[in-house]
Chains A and B, each alone.
Chain A
């Protein structure tokens, strides 16, 4: 396998990697450490920083004002992940049980929203959910089904709906991949041994689809926790998530060190989640996804 590589394989590998390594170390790793450094500095008057060490930024992260937003973001990301799982699993099962010819089309139909701009998909919901001028309320009011417009917008409901809509394909695709690999003979064997349908699901299908479930949950949870566009558009300026608080530190409050501390805490949480994911799934299963 390694017959054409010559003797200095390590050197050759690094030559190939050099452009990527340079670009990523300068424009990704270095900025990462700068953010870490900034989070220990004091804020300057007009957006800059004062180069003196402080832990105050991290203390402020635990100020109830911000910490509650953190907790709410966790809650929203968690509920989003749970709902996409509950909606996505049967959908993946539906696709996996269709005839082979239709399966390709159905997967493609799932990929199209995936390739479509997230901002536009969020905007589509804005036109549906708005309180007085949204399609849903206007239609329901004109049909006389409701007397007062429903509050579908500017709250956690709207954000969760937008996130579920945006990330559902990311949950379905890995679960479908896992179900697609599942050997139908195993299910038949379980049935032949008089297992009930419930038992077939929980003892055969669920454990074998678990790698897909874990991957899908990661793919939904992480971007939901760091969401910025969805709460900015569907939260109506009232319902905020941690991503909005971070961006406010840079765009409005000019408190860069505090914004750095907030995003550093957020990244640490996500990294922890990713590491748990790598622990749970074996290397082989990850490669297949």
Chain B
């Protein structure tokens, strides 16, 4: 053993130590970042059970804010409004967006570049700009903010057409993007095989193409549903007076002051989002497996 070898081993041990320290710091940072993302939400949920009006000092466990929420007719009505707007706008935008995605992904035609821009702009443009554009449009065109009076699961709702139109306008683009992504990764040889086996185009579409597209369509629909439920800015500006969806209601409650009741409503909305995430994971897993193709062929 020479002096050199001893020095080398000491140096390599120092390097090893340095690497360990760096890795520990890195892991600590990662965990810290996730804490940063989740702690505010945890605190929010925690204080929805606080037996005091304060959202900063713990005063014991209660569920009274949830009882208050359930008895608040304004909140319940705005919840129904939210669900109705989301269901209707998702249904319309999923059909329209899927058709558009097929055209954009499968065809070459004149005007494609322009249509690409028109489809991408609603995603890029900030909410506030789109909101005031629609506000001016509904005012000027005379369409106004007339409500659609419907009976939805036994609840009488008055939902302005303008809100639904606005939601569809931004959802089409998101559905189109999601469905296009699915179309792009689909294996075209299966469709060609169907054609080789003398299936007519109509049959090929319904037996091969559509089942393969389905996970993308459902994913797009789920995205549209979530965006519609979550939207505040565009709804706020296109609803005229007196119409609230849940986010609009929450915003005006926040403006009046912080109470654990808002925490309770937020927790309920959070649970609903988690449910939607769960569904979307199940869907994307189903899309990756061979089962959909097996069923199709």
How far, in Å, is B132 (CB) from chain A's closest CB? Answer: 6
Binary contact readout A42-79 vs B (1 if CB under 8 angstroms, 0 otherwise): 00000000000000000000000000000000000000
Binary contact readout A277-289 vs B (1 if CB under 8 angstroms, 0 otherwise): 0000000000100
B165 touches A27 (CB 8 A): yes
Residues of B contacting A1 with CB < 8 Å? 188
Cβ-based interface call for A32 (8 A): yes
Complex CA distance for A232 and B168, rounded to whole angstroms: 26
Q: How large is the interface on B (under 10, 10 to 19, 20 to 34, 35 or more residues)?
A: 35 or more
Complex CA distance for A127 and B267, rounded to whole angstroms: 14
Cβ-based interface call for B70 (8 A): no
B56 touches A4 (CB 8 A): no
- A19-B96, A165-B36 known; A256-B136 Cβ under 8 A: yes
Q: Within the complex, which residue of B30, B56, B137, B274 is in contact with A134, where a contact is CB–CB below 8 Å?
A: B56
Cβ-based interface call for B172 (8 A): yes
Q: Within the complex, which residue of A4, A32, A38, A119 is in contact with B247, where a contact is CB–CB below 8 Å?
A: A119
Complex CA distance for A243 and B184, rounded to whole angstroms: 36
- A24-B169, A90-B26, A115-B276 known; A138-B137 Cβ under 8 A: no
Binary contact readout B67-95 vs A (1 if CB under 8 angstroms, 0 otherwise): 00000000000000000000000000001
Q: How large is the interface on A (under 10, 10 to 19, 20 to 34, 35 or more residues)?
A: 35 or more
Residues of B contacting A31 with CB < 8 Å? 133-134, 136-137
Cβ-based interface call for B291 (8 A): no
Cβ-based interface call for B14 (8 A): no
Residues of A contacting B124 with CB < 8 Å? 222, 270-271, 274
B103 touches A124 (CB 8 A): no
- A90-B29, A119-B250 known; A9-B108 Cβ under 8 A: yes
A4 touches B195 (CB 8 A): yes
Q: Within the complex, which residue of A9, A35, A109, A228 is in contact with B133, where a contact is CB–CB below 8 Å?
A: A35
Cβ-based interface call for B211 (8 A): no
A to B contact number (C-beta, < 8 Å): 244
Q: Would you list which residues of chain B between 91 and 126 have a CB under 8 Å from chain A?
A: 95-97, 99-100, 102-104, 106-112, 115, 118-119, 121-122, 124-126
- A20-B172, A116-B270, A127-B56 known; A5-B107 Cβ under 8 A: yes
B30 touches A95 (CB 8 A): yes
Complex CA distance for A35 and B137, rounded to whole angstroms: 8
Q: Within the complex, which residue of B44, B54, B274 is in contact with A133, where a contact is CB–CB below 8 Å?
A: B54
A117 touches B230 (CB 8 A): yes
Q: Within the complex, which residue of B36, B122, B232 is in contact with A24, where a contact is CB–CB below 8 Å?
A: B122
- A94-B33, A256-B136, A266-B126 known; A20-B40 Cβ under 8 A: no
- A12-B107, A20-B100, A246-B132 known; A133-B126 Cβ under 8 A: no
Q: Would you list which residues of chain A between 108 and 158 have a CB under 8 Å from chain B?
A: 108-113, 115-121, 123-128, 130, 133-135, 137-139
How far, in Å, is A7 (CB) from chain B's closest CB? Answer: 12
The winner among A35, A111, A225 for most chain B CB atoms within 10 A is: A35
Chain B residue nearest to A120 (CB atoms) is B266
Complex CA distance for A21 and B116, rounded to whole angstroms: 11
- The 9 residue pairs across chains A and B that have the minimum distance between CB atoms: A226-B126, A94-B30, A13-B107, A20-B100, A16-B103, A31-B137, A31-B133, A124-B40, A10-B109
A-binding residues in B (CB < 8 A): 26-27, 29-30, 33-34, 36-38, 40-41, 43-44, 47, 54-57, 95-97, 99-100, 102-104, 106-112, 115, 118-119, 121-122, 124-130, 132-137, 140, 165-166, 168-169, 172-173, 176, 184, 188, 191-192, 195, 201, 204, 226, 229-230, 232-233, 237, 247, 250-251, 254, 258, 262-263, 266, 269-270, 273-274, 276-277, 280-281
**Can you list 16 pairs linking A and B with CB atoms under 8 Å apart?**
A9-B109, A10-B110, A27-B168, A34-B140, A90-B26, A115-B273, A120-B250, A127-B55, A130-B56, A133-B55, A133-B56, A165-B37, A222-B126, A228-B128, A229-B232, A229-B233
B-binding residues in A (CB < 8 A): 1-5, 9-10, 12-14, 16-17, 19-21, 23-25, 27-32, 34-35, 38, 87, 90-91, 93-95, 97, 106, 108-113, 115-121, 123-128, 130, 133-135, 137-139, 165, 168-169, 222-223, 225-229, 233, 243, 246-247, 250, 256, 259-260, 263, 266-267, 270-271, 274, 287
